[in-house]
């Protein structure tokens, strides 16, 4: 990502606030740092939730993205609410889908987004772009931490927990649902016909890591990733489809699953990923955006200066990022309302 975008993200992390019109319900926002000492992974987590607190002048700062104001460290809800865990895409971060977190919070959910260690825009560790099994464990660890947290445990309904993710995060939630990847098959695919799919714009040159001895050794000791505490799963443009070729790999998925795809996805092509998952997972629901809607349309909507400096925030003239977000938000809210309440 270009320097302007990195500076913009740093500014966003500094203020962690929104800058557009508020909806009917004020949304609180907090940052918590958890540490999974057993895996040596600091897991910075952002949480959004409905609050009765009002906005202060200090909550209103410039942002490089089009967003809504939130109440920093606002009061938590008195009544227990459903929780949705949110997983970002490759080389992204916990704030790159704030539009989605805000929309779910407006609908009465608590939303917790996790920075996946080594796979964020400002912390790129090559091995972590391949060790896909670390990400579901991140979500499970933070979920446990939130349920035991003295502040949040009284606000979360432990019987109503969902998960949503984009791109690599889309795979992450499917792994939590019970999808079991065939690692040798995946590595062979990426070494041959799928080599272009791992040359991510966020980290070019990754294909050389396929022969890394640590990756090969670690891939032989993948734990059970399914988290039965999570009752419904929503995957947006999920990647890592190369690790799945048989319905048998999805036999442990028993909870509701919804998958979103975009027809013009050049990063994780729908034929090998979103549609492919939908065909393998019995009973899953699927929606696909037609036309020139592409992969990065799911990231936050940026102001014009950012669009000009970084093409991942500029869409085809026929595409309205805001309208795509509104549609995904509507589908996700309806899905979680139906399966978590």
Let me know: does 127 contact 215? Beta carbons within 8 Å.
yes
Question: Which pLDDT score is estimated for 315?
Answer: 96
* CB contact burial 252-278 (16+ within 10 A = b; e otherwise): ebebbbbbbbbbbbebbbbebbbbbbb
The rounded distance, in Å, linking the Cα atoms of 291 and 314 is 16
Q: Give, as one character, the DSSP assignment of residue 331.
A: H
Question: Which pLDDT score is estimated for 202?
Answer: 67
> What number is the average pLDDT over the span 317-335?
98
Give 10's contacts (C-beta < 8 A, 6+ positions apart): 122
The rounded distance, in Å, linking the Cα atoms of 255 and 309 is 41
Torsion of CA 295, 61, 19, 318, to 10 degrees: -40
Question: Which pLDDT score is estimated for 20?
Answer: 38
Count the neighbouring beta carbons within 10 Å of the beta carbon of residue 39: 12
Q: Residue 25: which of 74, 65, 83 has the closest Cα? A: 74
Token digits of residue 27: 């949304």
pLDDT tens profile 177-207: 999 999 888 888 888 877 777 777 667 777 7
Whether this model's pTM surpasses 0.85: yes
pLDDT tens profile 69-79: 999 999 999 99
The boundaries of the domain holding residue 69 are 3-340
The CATH number covering residue 151 comes to 3.40.50.1820
Token digits of residue 7: 């500076």
User: What does 113-176 look like in DSSP terms, one character per residue?
Assistant: EE--TTEETTEE-GGGGT-TTHHHHHHHHHHHHHHH-TTTTTTEEEEEEEEEEETHHHHHHHHH
pLDDT tens profile 144-169: 999 999 999 999 999 999 999 999 99
- Give, in order, the Cα–Cα distances in Å from 103 to each of 49, 199, 218: 10, 32, 37
Let me know: does 160 contact 109? Beta carbons within 8 Å.
no
Give the number of domains in the chain.
Answer: 1
pLDDT tens profile 173-183: 999 999 999 98
Higher pLDDT, 326 or 217: 326
Question: Which pLDDT score is estimated for 148?
Answer: 97
pLDDT tens profile 21-50: 334 689 999 999 999 999 999 999 999 999
């Amino acid at each position: 990502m270009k320097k302007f975008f990195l500076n913009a993200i740093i500014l966003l992390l500094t203020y962690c606030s929104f800058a557009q019109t508020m909806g009917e319900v004020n949304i609180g926002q907090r940052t918590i740092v958890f540490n999974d000492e057993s895996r040596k992974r600091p897991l910075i987590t952002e949480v959004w939730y409905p609050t009765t607190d009002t906005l202060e002048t200090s909550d209103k700062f410039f942002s490089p993205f089009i967003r809504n104001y939130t109440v920093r460290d606002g009061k938590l809800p008195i009544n227990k609410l459903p929780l949705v865990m949110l997983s970002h895409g490759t080389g992204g971060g916990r704030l790159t889908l704030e539009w989605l977190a805000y929309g779910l919070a407006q609908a009465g959910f608590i939303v917790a987004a996790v920075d996946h260690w080594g796979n964020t825009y400002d912390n790129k560790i090559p091995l972590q772009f391949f060790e896909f099994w670390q990400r579901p464990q991140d979500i499970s660890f933070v979920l446990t931490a939130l349920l035991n947290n003295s502040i949040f445990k009284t606000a979360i309904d432990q019987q109503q927990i969902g998960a949503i993710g984009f791109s690599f995060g889309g795979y992450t939630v499917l792994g939590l649902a019970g999808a079991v990847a065939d690692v040798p098959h995946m590595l062979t695919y990426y070494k041959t016909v799928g080599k272009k799919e791992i040359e991510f714009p966020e980290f070019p040159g990754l294909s050389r890591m396929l022969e890394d001895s640590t990756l090969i050794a670690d891939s032989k000791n993948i734990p059970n990733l399914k988290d039965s505490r999570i009752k419904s799963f929503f995957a947006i443009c999920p990647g890592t489809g190369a690790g799945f070729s048989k319905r048998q790999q999805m036999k442990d998925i028993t909870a509701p699953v919804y998958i979103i795809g975009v027809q013009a996805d050049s990063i994780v092509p729908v034929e090998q990923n979103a549609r492919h998952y939908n065909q393998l997972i019995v009973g899953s629901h699927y929606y696909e955006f037609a036309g020139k809607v592409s992969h990065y349309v799911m990231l936050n909507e940026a102001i014009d200066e950012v669009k000009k400096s970084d093409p991942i925030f500029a869409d085809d003239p026929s595409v309205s990022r805001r309208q795509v977000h509104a549609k995904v938000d509507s589908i996700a809210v309806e899905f979680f309302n139906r399966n978590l309440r």
